[in-house]
Amino acid sequence: MTTATLATPNQAKPAKQKVILCEGNEAAALGVALARPDMVAVYPITPQSSLVEHVAKLIADGRMDADIVDAEGEHSVLSVLQGAALAGARTYTATCGPGLAFMFEPYFRTSGMRLPIVMSIVTRDGITPQSVWGGHQDAMTVREVGWVQVYCETVQEVLDTTIMAFKIAEHHDVMLPVNVCLDGNYLSYGTSRVELPDQAEVDAFMGVKDVNWHVALDPLRPMAVDPLTGGSGGKGPSTFVRYRKGQCRGMQNSLRVIEEVHEEWAQRFGRRFAPLVEEYRMDGADYAIMTLGSMTGAAKDAIDEARDAGKRVGLIKIKTFSPFPVEALLKSLAKVQALGVVDRSVGFRWNCGPMYQETMGVLYRLGRHVPSMSFIGGLAGADITVGHFHRVIEATEKLPSSPAPSEPVWLNEKD
């Protein structure tokens, strides 16, 4: 895998960082421990299971001071955390696929109550057909529910982003739940060299915990949480609208906060990740391919090879998928004449990848026609190889001169 760090020179690295070797699920667990949540609720599900096992072990070993609730299902997992958050707790869980689907009822409500819960989605494809393998279908399915969703590319980014996610979620201008998405199989089980930040440094980075200043279930400041609103009379409709508008404002604020937090992280820990949109070899690129998550490593290798072969192609990677980083993406898209978008899930309604569909909205705002096409790969654990990306690059390269296909290209269809 190619490193995801940008070309910007690193800051002087803090000396205390330990280097370890671990899988993505363990990295997430270590990140959670460093962020010091008060409560973790868990329910195991493939491929998330080793993550919560790591968390449980960290707590059992006294390396993490948190209450752990082995709930009887994901629905209760998130419900327990909602209660804890309303009582002032920093909270964490992880799930995926069917677990996320089962969780949907409290999941929707978490963002409405503006609870800064952090939840990893160890992404898994949707069933049926039956599958226990990776894919973005679960996270993509709930992209319109008001959670901030960020996708990691590497194991190190999983660890660092997990910590940053708490700070983003709890920022007073945001107060929204955050999903840290790490690709099932590829990141969850992929073992990699990881630099482990120092606890004291992380504590300094996190600052003071203050998660229920806005809404609380606390006898010291009694309030009714979530009384009935809406309807068509009195203050009902306007109350509901104010809430919804506030959620949307929080989502938009998060774009700025995500950038600020990533910048602070880079300053403190010397690792700089593109917060919203990463450009790779976009200097002088006539066209680009777009990626999300761990596939980006192979994609970057393919770009390097294509550049070596003289192709004027670059790469745009989305890290923050929700809220969709429209302005940042506009800047990158402004540079290209054609675009190929690779999704790891499907959008049933538009017969294309969901990220492609979202990107078309941004392309419209560009004010000029950019030929583009949708590629769907890596479903149900399938690998998107450098070879697949060369096919993507080739097809995209031809776009300005040939009509775009009406169907997406299914990369693993003939594997």
Partner 1 sequence: MGRSYNTIAFDAAKCDGCGDCMTACATVKTGSTDKSRSRIQIVGDESDGFELALCRQCGDPKCVTVCPAAALTKNFDSGVIEWNASKCVDCLLCTVGCAYAGIALDEGVGHVAKCDMCYASPDGAPACVPACPHDALTYITTSRIYNEVGDWEDLFAPGLAGCQGCNTELLMRHTLRRVGPETVLATPPGCVPGMGSVGFNGTTGTKVPVFHPLLTNTAAMLAGIKRQYKRVGREVNALAIAGDGGASDVGFQSLSGAAERNEQILFMVVDNEGYMNTGMQRSSCTPYGAWTSTTPIGKGSGGMPSQGKTQDAKNLPLIMVNHRCEYVATASTAYMQDLYDKLDKAIQASKRGFAYLHVYSPCTTGWRFPTDQNMEVARKAVETNFVMLWEYNPKDGLEFTRPVDDPLPVTEYLKAMGRFRHLSPDQISHIQGKVVENLAFVKQMAHRQSA
In the list 62, 207, 228, 232, the residue contacting partner 1 (rule: CB under 8 A) is 228
Does residue 82 interact with partner 1 by CB under 8 A? yes
Output 83 or 270, the one with its CB closest to partner 1: 83
Does residue 415 interact with partner 1 by CB under 8 A? no
Distance CA(127)–CA(98), nearest Å, equals 7
Does residue 342 interact with partner 1 by CB under 8 A? no
CB count within 10 Å of CB 275 equals 25
Does residue 59 interact with partner 1 by CB under 8 A? no
- List CB contacts of 380: < 8 A, sequence separation 6 or more: 125, 129, 131, 133, 134, 135
Residue 234 region by backbone torsions, left for phi larger than 0, else alpha for psi between -120 and 50, else beta: left
Output 20 or 71, the one with its CB closest to partner 1: 71
Does residue 51 interact with partner 1 by CB under 8 A? no
| Nearest approach, Cβ of residue 372 and partner 1 (Å) | 41
Which segments of 233-371 are extended strands (E)? 277-280, 287-292, 313-318, 320-322, 338-343
Q: Residue 359's closest CA among 385, 338, 377, 378?
A: 338
CB count within 10 Å of CB 325 equals 23
Q: Given the rule CB under 8 A, which of 135-143, 215-223, 297-305, 380-388 is the region that contacts partner 1?
A: 215-223
Does residue 268 interact with partner 1 by CB under 8 A? no
In the list 30, 84, 140, 379, the residue contacting partner 1 (rule: CB under 8 A) is 84
CB count within 10 Å of CB 50 equals 20
| Nearest approach, Cβ of residue 166 and partner 1 (Å) | 16
Residue 201 main-chain phi, psi, to 5 deg: -65, -40
CB under 8 Å, gap of 24 or more: what pairs does 216-221 form? 216/86, 216/87, 216/88, 217/83, 217/86, 217/87, 218/87, 218/88
Judged by CB under 8 A, the number of residues near partner 1 is 44
Q: Is 275 helix (H, G, I), strand (E, B) or coil?
A: coil
Q: Residue 400's closest CA among 311, 287, 239?
A: 287
| Nearest approach, Cβ of residue 368 and partner 1 (Å) | 47
In the list 69, 121, 176, 285, the residue contacting partner 1 (rule: CB under 8 A) is 69
Q: From edge to edge, which strands make up the β-sheet containing 409-410? A: 277-280, 313-318, 287-292, 338-343, 372-376, 409-410
In the list 9, 12, 19, 72, the residue contacting partner 1 (rule: CB under 8 A) is 72
Does residue 225 interact with partner 1 by CB under 8 A? yes
Site for partner 1 in 101-130 (CB under 8 A): 105-106, 109
Q: What angle do CA 331, 334, 340 make, to 5 degrees?
A: 105
| Nearest approach, Cβ of residue 309 and partner 1 (Å) | 56
Does residue 35 interact with partner 1 by CB under 8 A? no
- List CB contacts of 332: < 8 A, sequence separation 6 or more: 277, 279, 282, 288, 316
Does residue 241 interact with partner 1 by CB under 8 A? no
Does residue 79 interact with partner 1 by CB under 8 A? yes
Distance CA(199)–CA(201), nearest Å, equals 5
Does residue 58 interact with partner 1 by CB under 8 A? no
Output 115 or 393, the one with its CB closest to partner 1: 115
Does residue 87 interact with partner 1 by CB under 8 A? yes
Does residue 217 interact with partner 1 by CB under 8 A? yes
| Nearest approach, Cβ of residue 222 and partner 1 (Å) | 5
In the list 216, 326, 360, 386, the residue contacting partner 1 (rule: CB under 8 A) is 216
The rounded Cα 305 to chain-centroid distance in angstroms is 28
Query: What is the pattern of x (binds partner 1, CB under 8 A) and - over residues 155-174?
Result: --------------------
User: Which residues are at the interface with partner 1 (CB under 8 A)?
Assistant: 38-39, 41, 67, 69-73, 75-77, 79-89, 91, 105-106, 109, 216-219, 221-229, 234-236, 239
